[in-house]
Amino acid sequence: MSTHARLSPSASARWIACPGSVALSERAPSISSSTTYADRGTALHAMAADYLRGVEVDVPAEIKTYCDYAMARIQQRRATVWIEQPMSLDAQIFGTPDLVIVSGDTLEVVDLKTGFQEVKAAGNTQLICYAEAALRTYPAITKRIKTIRLTIVQQSSIATARLSRSALRSYVAAILSAADRASRHDAPRVVGSHCQYCPGAVICDERKAETLRHVRVAFTDPETVDEALLCAAVEDGKRVIEHIESLIAYAVQHPPRGYAVVDGRGRRVWKTGADIPMLPKPMTLAEATDRGLDISSLTEYRAGAPKLVKTDDAIEHHFTDDI
């Protein structure tokens, strides 16, 4: 089995909505997905997994709700638990769920989300893939399962959706049908909000054409249009910005002649795992400083995201940072 799934559960919402994105992404230029937020999310997931395995960890505020909820579920009587255990739905669809728990006739998939965009549990195809993968990977343990729980823990919010075994089968049949379409090299490409995180967006002809259409609307004179068209211009403007940002991300990875990549402006942040002072909510650095707290050992400097500048400006940027 390959290390990376061709149809990953985490990207299922995209390849279900746009089957052609799979083949397109495979021939797209490589763009690093590493960002300060992504790297912190990875670190928080690792800390959460360690905590659930019994490793002594200072749990950061961002994952406390997840750790408390997950530990309570794990401690159920006669629970069988898999923490970050790779599971396979089929040869193309496999991945590593954060937590899967079997207790009685219920199987629960618990997923930690560290981003700011709300993720819904109901109809979540990523968690549905993991649930079915668990049933197929461990049939002897899961044969008596009647109820499926899909749980998303995000910051201090917990959302759970429940499915019957038969409802899960219906979802999985639809997902496998979509997977079959996505496996074809001539699969159609469909533009939508899912394009934002698509590796192939930068070379997608359909998205380029859609972006050009959005440009015409986005540059409408606001004083000469009705409210409905103005709202459309705002939304279309967002799509234009998303496309331009994907082009810039590509250029940062592959700088054109006359440009250089420099670190963006950095800032001090709380260290991962730091015991952040509470208000009762976690304090910002400014709030802690205003109260005269010594937080030097709790913070660290993080460089800003790399950015693209003209070569002459890059030289000036370098000397400015050294002053």
pLDDT in tens, 17-27: 999 999 999 98
Position 318 scores a pLDDT of 42
Confidence of residue 317 (pLDDT cuts 50, 70, 90): very low
pLDDT average, residue stretch 14-43: 83
pLDDT average, residue stretch 196-210: 87
Tell me: pLDDT of 46 over 90: yes
Q: What is the pTM of this model?
A: 0.72
Tell me: pLDDT of 84 over 90: yes
Confidence of residue 34 (pLDDT cuts 50, 70, 90): low
CB 210 within 8 A of CB 235: no
73-82, 177-186, 192-201: range with lowest mean pLDDT:
192-201
pLDDT average, residue stretch 196-214: 85
Confidence of residue 316 (pLDDT cuts 50, 70, 90): very low
Could you tell me the two tokens for 278?
A: 């509470």
Cα–Cα dist 214/123, whole Å? 30
Confidence of residue 176 (pLDDT cuts 50, 70, 90): very high
Which of 157, 174, 103 lies closest to 134 in space, CA to CA? 103
Confidence of residue 223 (pLDDT cuts 50, 70, 90): confident
Top pLDDT among 112 and 273 is at 112
pLDDT average, residue stretch 90-117: 94
Position 250 scores a pLDDT of 77
Cα–Cα dist 147/99, whole Å? 16
What is the enclosing helix (H) or strand (E) of 83? strand 80-83
User: Residue 304, Cβ neighbours under 10 Å: how many?
Assistant: 12
Confidence of residue 314 (pLDDT cuts 50, 70, 90): very low
Position 98 scores a pLDDT of 98
CA angle 170, 120, 9 (to 5 degrees): 55
Position 101 scores a pLDDT of 97
Position 320 scores a pLDDT of 45
Backbone angles phi, psi at 204, to 5 degrees: -85, 115
**31-40, 196-205, 264-273 — most confident range:** 196-205
3-12, 79-88, 213-222: range with lowest mean pLDDT:
213-222
Residue range 240-262, pLDDT digits in tens: 787 788 778 778 777 888 888 77
Position 16 scores a pLDDT of 96
